[in-house]
Amino acid sequence: MLEAIKNRRSIRKFKEEEVPRYMIEEIIQSGVLAPSAKNRQPWKFVVVSGNAKADMVSAMGNGLERERERPLLPNVSQYISGASYTLKIMEKAPVTIFIVNPVGVDIHSSLTEEEHIEELCNAQSIGAAIENMILTATELGLGSLWICDTYFAYDELQTYLNTEGELIAALTIGYADEAPNARPRKSMDEVVEWRD
C-alpha cells in the first residue's frame, strides 16, 4: 500500500481504452470498506461511462455556463477556467464515478449545529472512501483524478444524477496517458507540531 501512496498521481490525460467492469467494482468495493463515523457509510456511487457520458458532459457544461452568468460560488469565479479544463478531462476519461452523500444536507440549506457536525463527520468518511478508491485504482495500474469542480455545476449535476442526497465529488478513472512527476509536499517541520 505504501508503494501505491508513493506512486499515486492526479491524472488528467487518459487513453481511450475501456476499463473492465470488474476493476471499477473493485475500486468501489474498496471505497465501501472505508471507515465511517458511527458506521453511517454516507456514500452512494453513480458510475458513468460509454454513451451516458454525453448527458453528464452536457450537465456539467450547462452548469459552467450558468455559473459564469449567475454564480453559485461568486467568490471563486477565478477558478471557472480550471473547471472548464476539468470538464474536458471528464469528457475524455473512460469512467467518472460520482460520490453522493445520501444523508447529506443540500448545499442551499442552512444547517443547525448538529447537522453541521454530522456533515463534517460524513465528509471525513467520504474522504476516506475516495482515498481508498484512488489507491486501489493505482494498485490496479489505473490513473485517477479526484474532482471537486463539480460544485460549479452543482444544481445541474444534481438534476442529472437524479438521486437522493448531496453531490460531494467525482472521480475519473482510466489508463493514464501521462506520467507526471510528484508535486512538492510541505516538509514535516511545516505540518507537524509535537507536544510531548
pTM value?
Answer: 0.94
Task: Say what the pLDDT of residue 145 is.
Answer: 97
For the segment(s) 2-178, the CATH number from 3.30.870.10, 3.10.580.10, 3.40.47.10, 3.40.109.10 is 3.40.109.10
Task: Say what the pLDDT of residue 129 is.
Answer: 98
Q: Tell me the per-residue pLDDT of 70-111, one tens digit each, with 9 for 90 and over.
A: 888 888 888 999 999 999 999 999 999 999 999 988 888 899
Residue with grid cell 505540518, as numbered in its chain: 191
Listed by start position, the domains of the chain span: 2-178
Residue 1 has pLDDT above 80, yes or no: no
Q: Is 122 exposed, middle or buried (0-12, 13-18, 19+ CB in 10 A)?
A: buried
User: Within 13 A of 64's CA, how many CA atoms are on the CB side?
Assistant: 19
Residue 127 CA to residue 11 CA, distance in Å, equals 18
Task: Say what the pLDDT of residue 82 is.
Answer: 94
pLDDT band at 64 (very low <50, low <70, confident <90, very high): very high
Across the chain, mean pLDDT equals: 94
- Neighbour order of strands in the sheet with 95-101: 44-49, 95-101, 166-174, 143-147
Q: Which amino acid is at 160?
A: Y
Residue 190 has pLDDT above 80, yes or no: yes
pLDDT band at 60 (very low <50, low <70, confident <90, very high): very high
pLDDT band at 36 (very low <50, low <70, confident <90, very high): very high
Q: Tell me the per-residue pLDDT of 19-33, one tens digit each, with 9 for 90 and over.
A: 999 999 999 999 999
Residue with grid cell 463515523, as numbered in its chain: 37
